[in-house]
Amino acid sequence: MTIPEKLIYPRTGDKETIYLKPVIQNPNITVGDFTMYNDFVNDPVLFEKNNVLYQYPINHDKLKIGKFCSIACGAKFLFNSANHTLSSLSTYPFPLFFKEWDLLKENVTQAWDNKGDIVIGHDVWIGYEAVILAGVTIGDGAIIGTRAVVTKDVEPYTIVGGIPAKPIRKRFSDEVISALEEIKWWDWPEYKIKENLPAIQNGDMMQLKKAAGK
pLDDT, residue 2, reads 54
Catalytic (active-site) positions = 84
Q: What is the pTM of this model?
A: 0.93
Dihedral (CA of 8, 11, 16, 17) sign: negative
Please name the residues in contact with 214: beta carbons below 8 A apart, sequence gap of 6 or more. 179, 182, 183
Half-sphere exposure of 182 (CA within 13 A, CB side): 14
- Which DSSP letter does residue 44 get? G
The CATH class of 17-171 is mainly beta
Amino acid at 26: N
Enumerate the CATH 2.160.10.10 domain ranges in the chain, comma separated. 17-171
pLDDT-wise least confident of 30-39, 172-181, 189-198, 205-214:
205-214
Residues 180 and 174: their CA atoms lie apart, in Å, by 10
pLDDT at 181: 97
pLDDT above 90 (res 213): no
Q: Strand 76-78's sheet: what is its strand order? A: 52-53, 76-78, 131-133, 149-150
Judged on CB neighbours under 10 Å (0-12, 13-18, 19+), 12 is exposed
State the Cα–Cα distance between residues 213 and 43, nearest whole angstrom.
43
Predicted pLDDT of residue 169: 98
Question: Rounded CA gap, 65 and 23, in Å?
Answer: 14
What percentage of the chain has pLDDT greater than the value 90? 93
Q: Is the pLDDT of residue 174 over 60?
A: yes
Q: pLDDT tens digit string along 118-135?
A: 999 999 999 999 999 999
pLDDT of residue 99: 94
The vertex-210 CA angle with 209 and 214, nearest 5°, equals: 60
Q: Rounded to an integer, what distance in angstroms lies between the CA atom of residue 214 and that of residue 201?
A: 19
